[in-house]
A and B are shown apart, each in its own frame.
Chain A
Amino acid sequence: MIKSSSPSPEPVADGRKRLVLVGHGMVGQRFLEALVERGAADWQVTVLCEEPRAAYDRVHLTSYFSGTSADELSMVPAGFLDEHGIDLRLGDPAAAIDRAARTVTGRSGEVFGYDALVLATGSYPFVPPVPGHDADGCFVYRTIEDLEAIEEWAKGARTGAVVGGGLLGLEAAGALKAMGLDTHVVEFAPRLMAIQVDEGGGAALRRKIEELGVTVHAGAGTQEIGVGADGRAATMALSNGETLDVDLVIFSAGVRPRDQLARESGLDVGERGGIAVDENCRTSDPSIWAIGECALASDGRVYGLVAPGYQMAETVAHELTGGSGSFTGADTSTKLKLLGVDVASFGDAHGTSEGCLEVVYSNSREGVYKKLVVTAEGVLLGGVLVGDAGSYDLLRPLCLSGAVLPAPPEQLVLPESAGAPIAIGASALPDDALVCSCHNVTKGKIRAAVNDEGCADVPAVKKCTRAGTGCGSCVKMLTTIVQDELAANGVEVAKGLCEHFEHTRAELFEIVQVRGITSFRRLIEEHGTGSGCDICKPAVASILASLANGHILDGEQASLQDTNDHFLANLQRNGSYSVVPRIPGGEITPEGLIVIGEIARDFGLYTKITGGQRIDMFGASVDQLPLIWKRLVDAGFESGHAYGKALRTVKSCVGETWCRYGVQDSVGMAIELELRYRGLRSPHKLKSAVSGCARECAEAQSKDFGVIATSTGWNLYVGGNGGMTPRHADLLAADLDRETLLRTIDRFLMFYIRTADRLERTAPWVERMEGGLDHLRAVIMDDSLGICDDLDELMQRHVETYEDEWRATIEDPERLRRFVSFVNAPGTPDPTVTFVPERDQIRPAKPGEEGLPLATAGLIAGPTLEVRTS
């Protein structure tokens, strides 16, 4: 990396131009990503960042209090900066700009020359200059450091007050409430969220918020913070005469653009702040651009939302890579869940357009308020939704499109229980309706991705258009549009499992459970057609096994299994099988190792250590499987289910027992989990791991469910995946005790088994879940669907009725009869399965290669194998 550290910087030696970005927040990071996506080879990029950490998700800052770590909030993909040669200077904010010399001086004193300068300095919280505002115990709510300080202070506090009843203020109030504080919100305007919602919506919101135990003081100004003798905030005097006793105060009374640097260097700024920019986001100096909350856009507005900031970032990235972009204004629609209450506002929410009409539905009993603002012709101009924002995804694009509503507006605000609800679908949207505002993708672009780019499913459309990859709130609408379009093209988007069942796997699960069906024959006769196939048979076998827990080779179930489940072993390329005994948590005694070694040696099998901390033995014929397993079972081993869509392994690190850094017994926990869930049949394989400390040696975050020890309990991660489509697991819950951990995993697994599609791993299942992780938490931790008793009972039954499939098989002559190569010549091994020696073991003979049957290759070739001396 070349560093421009001389006082009068020269252009970079390699001919590249120098780009300095001031500010590394969400918009700054997005700018960098847009730049490298479009090819940033011309630019040598330096980033000056005031905060001690790289860009993080400020929109979801509050989730820090519910256990999301600072690392998880990071917006910067691993390796991003190195890969693109970006020089990020943390904790070194820009202190001065010399426009004549085209240099920026950092607080560290280092001077950076630039050919292009991009300002993304964001905004700062406005703190009203009331007496006592700087007392100990007064905070703002902007950075991770702010939240850390609030969290620390709250430990010794009983009462907290938030100044400002806007979006951020209510989030802060929710956080204080969650930390157990008696919580007040003081709002100067006569209602909460005054910018977004109208009087009726504000009243509905207030009732909902007060039901949660937060005291709201609307129409009241903060006059003074009373400071105690110890220098700490103690009281708060309001303009309505009230005085509150407080231990902690959070100011969340709006933000102001950080334009000081621009002001001092003589750039044009707005009267009420903000660095003035043109449609290309260029400031009054042609070498300097400004984006995000610090910029005063060409439409005269300062946007405090992330989506417009992203659009500005894209605009400048285009400009700097030879293209052209423009930003002339943005949609400021909002939909969010505040303290569990849906709030949405879009378009002309306050009905300020000339001649507009309002249609209102208000139900204070249910806490629902909906208002639509329309023209006399029926064009939707805007609206407010509180308590139920389900129709937002449809109404907002309709509003932006300027088209006449497809139904009378009063029908669009009525709840389904009152009057005939009109089902207007995505088909009602015009092509220019904006579906994804994060990435500025219209319905037309989505249709084009399907029709012209050949995208055949939602993931392909996401990849092609980036729609749905930002905040994710439009995924439901996106899915509908894609499916409609595919259907219109005659592409069958049957949701059914296969040609034999019109039901999805989740629906079949419900049918089997509710109707108590125990056989495939009955299920296909009553609910399907034909005789089944490789898709529905194993899927139904898995459902039956998840619910009934009988032996998978009993009776008719035997015919449903694919070959691996049929022979309880893994088919390899030459028709031989591999054998994997369970080694819970990867812990094994020397005697166990010796037994496996002796068996592999006696049968001439190839051995390899697996990625799941166990031992795989290859090359067995079907005739040998019972003989091998007899010896394994006698030595105390049981099936490892390596062949099944079932729990595979729970890996572990060595944990606090031996490791200097471990804080919990990860091996013990891994063994407990593996023994609890062994044999559990599921829509796809399940992998898990337990790490004994945050160093994460067991790689738990790449697993379907992973557990990481903390000093006070266990953090549970779900939905991780390795392999072809890696996914980092999400933190579901933090610092759980053992019982809560087990109960939460029980429910997670059973909910997954019950609702996932066939062959759908937990990662895509979590990804497509409507409402995301919050919904998952609500279902399995707060029992929002009332199904937890059912899930618990199913898992309890699994745990109580588990039996080792291989022990049961070798004890049953009927089941053993299938383990022959030839039905009319039992005991004759398949002569076509042959092996040759390689690296002191066997491997399958390749076509044209002369090999020996295992009995010969394995038993007598051993001594004749070449012995490697290296």
Chain B
Amino acid sequence: MTAYDTAYDPAYGAADGIGGTVVEIASADGWTPVCRLDDLIPGRGVAALVDGAQVAVFRGLGDEVYAVGNLDPFSGAYVISRGIVGSRGGVPMVMSPMYKEAFDLRTGLCLDADDEAVALPVYQVRVQTAVAAEVG
């Protein structure tokens, strides 16, 4: 494959010490930093690998942050992080880009199906302003 310099920020995604205000996901070993808050566009998500699991991390229109599983239970594809974020009747939600089901970002429950079998797993997430990685 042709090598192509995508000009990523060298500090971006570094193994340790992301620096600045950091988004962290709870994992078996404590809190895992995944990116800087500034890396998240308000109203948009990213996918992260945490202990081998795919987690979809979102930022609302303000600084609030949510984390749910990235697997869309309806399509079987790992695409939840690419959905549109918004609100439905005051409930913060993400809409799967595949077949457009909405999920409550706080509980992972599907707003279009009354069935817990299609709920997304919810991950604990926090925003930390720290210079060094916190050990929990």
Measured CB to CB, the residues of A under 8 A from B are: 499-500, 521, 530-534, 536-538, 556, 558-560, 562-564, 566-567, 571, 573-575, 602-603, 626-627, 630-631, 813, 816-826, 828, 830, 832-833, 847, 855, 859
A826 to B100, CA, bound (A): 27
**A559 close to B7 (CB less than 8 A):** no
Min CB–CB distance B84 → chain A (angstroms): 4
**B48 close to A824 (CB less than 8 A):** yes
**A825 close to B13 (CB less than 8 A):** yes
Find chain B residues with CB under 8 A from A822 CB.
Answer: 46-49, 54
A558 to B8, CA, bound (A): 19
* Cβ-neighbour of B13 out of A538, A602, A824 (below 8 A): A824
A855 to B41, CA, bound (A): 29
**A824 close to B43 (CB less than 8 A):** no
A847 to B72, CA, bound (A): 14
Task: Report if B35 contacts A (CB, 8 A).
Answer: yes
**B61 close to A630 (CB less than 8 A):** no
> Given contacts A530-B86, A538-B84, could you give 15 more A-B pairs where the C-beta distance is less than 8 Å?
A499-B89, A531-B86, A533-B93, A534-B83, A537-B84, A556-B41, A556-B43, A559-B42, A560-B43, A563-B97, A627-B1, A631-B2, A822-B48, A822-B54, A830-B54
A78 to B97, CA, bound (A): 39
Given contacts A573-B77, A603-B1, A824-B49, A531 and B12 within 8 Å (CB-CB): no
* Cβ-neighbour of B1 out of A558, A574, A825, A855 (below 8 A): A855
Find chain A residues with CB under 8 A from B84 CB.
Answer: 533-534, 537-538, 560, 562-563
**A824 close to B34 (CB less than 8 A):** yes
Chain B 54-92: CB-based contact to A (< 8 A → 1; otherwise 0): 100100110000000000000111110011111111101
Q: In terms of DSSP, what is the predominant structure of the interface of chain A?
A: loop
Given contacts A573-B75, A823-B46, A823-B48, A567 and B82 within 8 Å (CB-CB): yes
Min CB–CB distance A522 → chain B (angstroms): 12
**A823 close to B90 (CB less than 8 A):** no
Q: Closest residue of chain B to A538, judged by CB?
A: B84
A823 to B70, CA, bound (A): 13
**A817 close to B43 (CB less than 8 A):** no
Find chain A residues with CB under 8 A from B44 CB.
Answer: 558-559, 566
Q: Closest residue of chain A to B23, judged by CB?
A: A823
**Which residue, B41, B42, B86, has most C-beta atoms of chain A within 10 A?**
B86
**B39 close to A823 (CB less than 8 A):** yes
Question: How many A-B pairs with Cβ below 8 Å?
Answer: 134
Within 8 A of A (CB), among B4-49: 4, 6-9, 12-13, 33-35, 39, 41-44, 46-49
Task: List 5 A-B pairs, minimum CB-CB distance, nearest first.
Answer: A559-B43, A533-B86, A563-B97, A813-B7, A575-B77
Task: Report if B133 contacts A (CB, 8 A).
Answer: no
Find chain A residues with CB under 8 A from B43 CB.
Answer: 531-532, 537, 556, 559-560
Min CB–CB distance B106 → chain A (angstroms): 14
**A499 close to B47 (CB less than 8 A):** no
**Which residue, A564, A603, A813, A819, has most C-beta atoms of chain B within 10 A?**
A813
**B77 close to A574 (CB less than 8 A):** yes
Min CB–CB distance B112 → chain A (angstroms): 12
A78 to B47, CA, bound (A): 52
What are 18 A-B interface contacts by the 8 Å CB criterion? A530-B87, A530-B90, A531-B86, A532-B87, A534-B86, A534-B100, A558-B41, A559-B44, A559-B85, A562-B84, A562-B97, A563-B84, A571-B82, A822-B48, A823-B47, A823-B48, A830-B78, A859-B1
A161 to B48, CA, bound (A): 82
* Cβ-neighbour of A559 out of B2, B41, B75 (below 8 A): B41
A603 to B83, CA, bound (A): 26
Task: Report if B118 contacts A (CB, 8 A).
Answer: no
Interface size for B (C-beta < 8 A) is 47
Q: Closest residue of chain B to A575, judged by CB?
A: B77
Task: Report if B127 contacts A (CB, 8 A).
Answer: no
Find chain B residues with CB under 8 A from A534 CB.
Answer: 83-84, 86, 95, 100, 102
Min CB–CB distance A132 → chain B (angstroms): 73
* Cβ-neighbour of A821 out of B47, B75, B76 (below 8 A): B47
**A823 close to B82 (CB less than 8 A):** no
Given contacts A575-B79, A823-B13, A823-B34, A499 and B88 within 8 Å (CB-CB): yes
Find chain A residues with CB under 8 A from B48 CB.
Answer: 822-825
Find chain B residues with CB under 8 A from A626 CB.
Answer: 4, 6
A423 to B92, CA, bound (A): 42
A501 to B90, CA, bound (A): 14
A500 to B8, CA, bound (A): 36
A208 to B103, CA, bound (A): 62
**B35 close to A824 (CB less than 8 A):** yes
**A823 close to B35 (CB less than 8 A):** yes
Find chain A residues with CB under 8 A from B75 CB.
Answer: 573
Task: Report if B122 contacts A (CB, 8 A).
Answer: no
A563 to B45, CA, bound (A): 11
**A817 close to B60 (CB less than 8 A):** no
**A627 close to B4 (CB less than 8 A):** yes
Find chain A residues with CB under 8 A from B90 CB.
Answer: 530
Find chain B residues with CB under 8 A from A823 CB.
Answer: 13, 34-35, 39, 46-48, 57
A559 to B46, CA, bound (A): 12
**A521 close to B61 (CB less than 8 A):** yes
Find chain B residues with CB under 8 A from A533 CB.
Answer: 84, 86-88, 93, 95
Min CB–CB distance B134 → chain A (angstroms): 16
Min CB–CB distance B77 → chain A (angstroms): 4
A468 to B92, CA, bound (A): 42
A820 to B46, CA, bound (A): 9
Within 8 A of A (CB), among B105-132: none
A560 to B85, CA, bound (A): 9
Find chain B residues with CB under 8 A from A828 CB.
Answer: 49
**B87 close to A531 (CB less than 8 A):** yes
A820 to B81, CA, bound (A): 12
Find chain A residues with CB under 8 A from B57 CB.
Answer: 823
A627 to B60, CA, bound (A): 30
Find chain A residues with CB under 8 A from B50 CB.
Answer: 824
Min CB–CB distance A464 → chain B (angstroms): 28
Min CB–CB distance A764 → chain B (angstroms): 21
Find chain B residues with CB under 8 A from A603 CB.
Answer: 1
Find chain B residues with CB under 8 A from A813 CB.
Answer: 6-9
A1 to B10, CA, bound (A): 79
**B95 close to A571 (CB less than 8 A):** no
A499 to B34, CA, bound (A): 33
Q: Closest residue of chain A to B100, judged by CB?
A: A534
**B82 close to A563 (CB less than 8 A):** yes
A602 to B4, CA, bound (A): 14
Min CB–CB distance B95 → chain A (angstroms): 4
